[in-house]
Structure formats: C-alpha cells, structure tokens
Structure 1
Amino acid sequence: MTGPVLLVLAWHAASETGVLPPEVLAGPSTVISSAAGLITTGDLQAAMITSLGRALFGLALGGTIGVTLAVLSGLSRLGEDLIDSPIQMMRTVPSVALIPLLIIWFGIGEAPKVALIALGTAFPLYLNVYAGIRNVDLSLIEAGRALGLSRAALIRHVVLPGALPNALVGLRYSLGIAWLALVFGEQINATAGIGYLMANAREFFQTDVIVVCLVVYALLGLAVDFIVRTLERIFLSWRPAFSGT
C-alpha cells in the first residue's frame, strides 16, 4: 500500500502547488467531491450496476463458449483438428478491430457491447483450459484406467479437476480483458454505464469525473479478481503451493 499512498500524496501536492493544472487533471480533493456528488444523486451506483452487468454477461457468454470449445478440443484429437487451428487464427485478430462489424451485425444497442466482451474473454479461457486438459499428469490417467474408471468418470474425476488450476488462471485473464473490452464497448453509443458518464465528462472537460470513472473501473475489476482468488483458495486447497519467502 505504500506505493499507491505516495502516488496520491504526490498527486495532491502537484495539484495544490499548481504544477498539475486542474484542466489537465483534477486534484484528489476535487475527485473525491465529485464522487460524493455522483453517489448522492445515485448516478454512480446506477452506472456501476449497468457496467457490471454488461461485463459479467459478456464474460459468462464468452466463458461458456471458450470452455466448451476447449473441452471438445482438449479431449478429442478430432476436436483439436476441427477447432484449435481456427481458434488460433481468430485470437490474433484484435477484438477492438471488430467493432465496425459488430455494429453492422448487431446495431448500436447492448448486443455489440456484450459481443465485444464475449469475444475478448473467450480466448484466454480456451487457451488455458485446453492447456490444462492436455497437461494433466499421464500417470493419473493410467491410474484411473487401472482402477476401471469409464471414459466419462475419468474425465469427471481426473481430467477436469487437473485442468481446474489453469481454468482459474484463464478466468483471471479473462476478467482483465472483460474490463478493457467494456471500456471500448461503452463508447458505442452508450446511454448508461460508466463509459456513458466518461463520455459526458469528456464533452465538458470534467477531468474529475473521468478520474472517478477510471477508479470505479479499477475497483470493480479488483473486487471481481478478489472473488476469483477466493475461489482458487477454496477449490485448490488440496494443491500445495509456494507462498513466498
């Protein structure tokens, strides 16, 4: 916490001494005052709920697609032949570059925003789940077969649990990309959400409101990442891990 505290103190000092003009970046006291005003009117809470809903819906859609394709590709050589190469080609295309096509396909409502987030989040989950399945210890597979486990039981009790650590890592990556895609998505004719507040603030050069929105994006991302890390500790409690020295 020392680094962020020192950064805020330096920011405050630069604002108070005039080194950092308010038209370039508002000071911390102004930002806090603006945040309090937005909370009082309820605008900030409404924007947070809208943006969080978009991010989670897009993540759920993209995650479902990514995990499903990874399981099909990871468990079957035929699935790998049919799925992996197209996915590897598609993931090299920046999701942001698809915004014009998404607007043509889905219009300028909620659909292109959610689709952009889904596209961005599907690939990290696919890559990590696929790698997790293919990196399961072969000795565990052989032990399961020796115990007479069927293919379905082997997948359920050995392969998928073995891939879970990678899947959770992929989920954390996808969450980061979800917030990035959300920022871009909410620039597409948004009428609500944090991006909408930022767009309005940009028109009136309200740097304080823009900073408030950026902080909210960061805090929402941090909160969701904390939830995933908590899930890691719960579901991976069986796995010994290095915790630092």
Structure 2
Amino acid sequence: MSLSQVEAQSVTWQSDRNVLKNLKPFLMHILQFICGLILPLLVLCIWEIAARRQWLPEQILPAPQLVWSTSLELWQSGDLQSNFIISSKRIIYSVLLGSTIGLTLGIWFALSKSAQQYILPSIQLLTRFPIIGWIPLLMIFLGIDEALKIVAISLAVISPVLIATFKGIQHVPQHLLEVASVYQFSKWQTFNKVILPASLPAVISGLRQGIMQAWLALVFVELLASSEGIGYLMVWGRQLMQMDIIYMGIILIGLTGFFLDSILAAIERFTRFYSTRTRGV
C-alpha cells in the first residue's frame, strides 16, 4: 500500500470519526427520548390489559379508547378548547402578577441590607404557608370569583421567584463587581451589565419553578371553586360519574406540565450559556 493510499484512508477515517462525534449529541437525545417513552407506554399497556380483563369496574377504570373518544367529543364540541384557554389565561395573569412581585422583592432584598434585616424574615414566614391555607381568608375578602383564583395562584409563584432572584444576585461573583468598580460603573450600569446577566440563570430557574407551582395551584383552585377550566371539567366528570373525563383531565394536565417544563428548561439552558459567555467577555 502506497503512502498516498494510507493518507487517504487516514483522512477518510478521521472524517468518519468527526461525523460520529457530531452525531453523538443527537443520538443521545434520541436515546433519552426513547427511554422516556418506556414508562408511559408500559403504563398504557397495563391500563389496556386491566380494562380488557376488567380488573376494576368500567365505572372506575374506563378503557383508553373510551378516554380518547371522550377527548375527541369534547374537542369537537369546543368544550375542551374553551376550558383550556380559560385555564391558560389564569396561568398567564397569575404568573405575570406573581413574578413581578417576586422579582421586585427579590431585587430589593438583595440590594438593601435594611430590607434583608427587617422585612425579609416576615416575608419568608408568610411564604411557608401552603396555598390551601390562604384560600379561606382570600374567600372572605375576594369572594369566589376570578380574583380569588388569580391571587391564589400568584401566591404560589411569588416564593420561588423571590428566593431565586435574591440568591442569584447574592451569588454574583465578587470579581465581576470589582471589575465594574474599576471601570467606575454607575449603580444602574453595574446592575444592567453585571448583576442582571450573572443572575439571569437563577432568575429563570426560579421562574420555571414558579410556573410549575402555578400550574399545580391552578388545578387545585379550579377543583375547589370554579365553574370553568380544566379542573372544573374534572369536577363535572365526577358529578356525572364519568371517569373518562377525569382521566382525560389528568392526562391533559400532565402533558401540559411536561411541555411547559421542557420549554422552560430549554430557556434556562440558553440563559446559562448566555451568562457564561457574558462572564467570559
């Protein structure tokens, strides 16, 4: 074998190796996706077998096909979309309100020593109360209308956003603040160009937790006091003894939560990459 042939084979081998190296992350994502489907498919198979062999009465455990056909009927009638949109609006309004309050308080506590000493302990005490503990008091002042739902869900968002913002700003590397001091940045420039980019991943992480808490609180509030929304559909199914509607609601809640968390996780990874690049610069 000549030297040129050896060099050609070496180049081909190196090219194939680079292709495999570039494909490795993609193949790993596919493998993770396939592994993630194993448990849901296994549960679905067990569910189908249990329904066919009538391990439980049909009134308690309806067949997957019945749940699917019920979902299609609710979709065609427009009930599923309208209730889902109502729940989505509640989430949006609550997250906007709760995250605004959480961000504001988190920044204030992180930048003000006096606020940390005199006000933060009281806020931490209040955030320890579960949402269910606030419902009776909120009903007295707000009734059972839309304001109750928005405020109750917002309370679930405030705590994780506040804590994540506070800790994110507190853990900004000291050398970055020293560089800002050397360049004689103003307080606004220091916050905008140093503190905000460095703490952004922590803030997004807190917002991610807040949105997931809001989604869980939404279902609870709608189950408790609502005449519209996904939670109300489940209550309606219970009143009619139609378990297929309840199972449909459970699956829809789970899928929506999964997709929400996946999107927020991707945003969080991007912000961490952005923060790393900013620190490197």
Q: Which TM-score band (shorter chain)?
A: over 0.9
Q: Which 10-residue stretch deviates more, 133-142 or 188-197?
A: 188-197
Q: Which runs of 5+ in 2 are unaligned?
A: 1-36, 277-281
The higher relative CO (CA closer than 8 Å, separation ≥ 6) is in 1
The alignment partner of 1:19 has SS state of: coil
Q: Residue 131 of structure 2 corresponds to which residue in structure 1?
A: 95
Q: How does 1:1-245 map to 2 (within 5 A)?
A: 1-238=37-274
- Higher deviation after alignment, 227-236 or 14-23: 227-236
Unmatched 5+ residue regions in structure 1?
Answer: 241-245
Q: Please report the RMSD computed on the Cα atoms of aligned residues, expressed in angstroms.
A: 1.6
Asked if 1 retains the 8 angstrom alpha-carbon contact of 2:200 and 2:275, the reply is no
Point out the structure with the larger helix share: 2
Structure 2 CA distance for aligned equivalents of residues 114 and 238 of structure 1: 33
CA distance in 1, matches of 2:64, 2:244: 8
Measure, in 1, the Cα distance between the counterparts of 2:271 and 2:167: 19
Q: Which amino acid aligns with 2:196?
A: L
Whichever residue aligns with residue 107 of structure 2, its letter is: V
2:22 maps to which residue? none
Q: Who is 1:243 aligned against?
A: none
Q: Compute the displacement of 1:224 (Å).
A: 2.3
User: Deviation digits for residues 180-234 of structure 1, max 9, x if unmatched?
Assistant: 1101211343121111111111111111101111111122222322332232243
Supply the AA of the counterpart residue of 2:93.
F
Cα displacement (A) at 1:111: 0.5
Report if the CA contact (8 A) 2:223-2:234 is conserved: no
Q: CA deviation at 1:122?
A: 0.3
Worse-matched range after superposition: 217-226 or 98-107: 217-226
Deviation at 1:28, TM superposition (A): 1.0
Q: Which has the larger radius of gyration?
A: 2
Between Structure 1 and Structure 2, how many residues are aligned?
Answer: 241
Output the amino acid matched with 1:114: I
What secondary structure is seen at the aligned counterpart in 2 of 1:21? coil
Aligned partners of 1:234, 1:65: CA distance in 2, in Å? 24
Q: Give the match for residue 34 of structure 2.
A: none
Maintained 8 Å contact 2:201/2:275: no
1:175·1:221 contact (CA, 8 Å) conserved in 2? no
- Give the structure-2-normalised TM-score: 0.82
In 1, Cα distance between equivalents of 2:275 and 2:160: 23
Percent of aligned positions that are identical:
34
- Write the distance in 1 (CA, Å) between the matches of 2:170 and 2:131: 27
Q: Distance in 2 between matches of 1:238 and 1:160?
A: 11
CA distance in 2, matches of 1:238, 1:114: 33
Q: Is the 8 A contact 1:71 1:130 kept in 2?
A: yes
Q: Which amino acid aligns with 1:7?
A: V
Distance 1:197-1:75 versus aligned 2 partners, 3 A rule: same
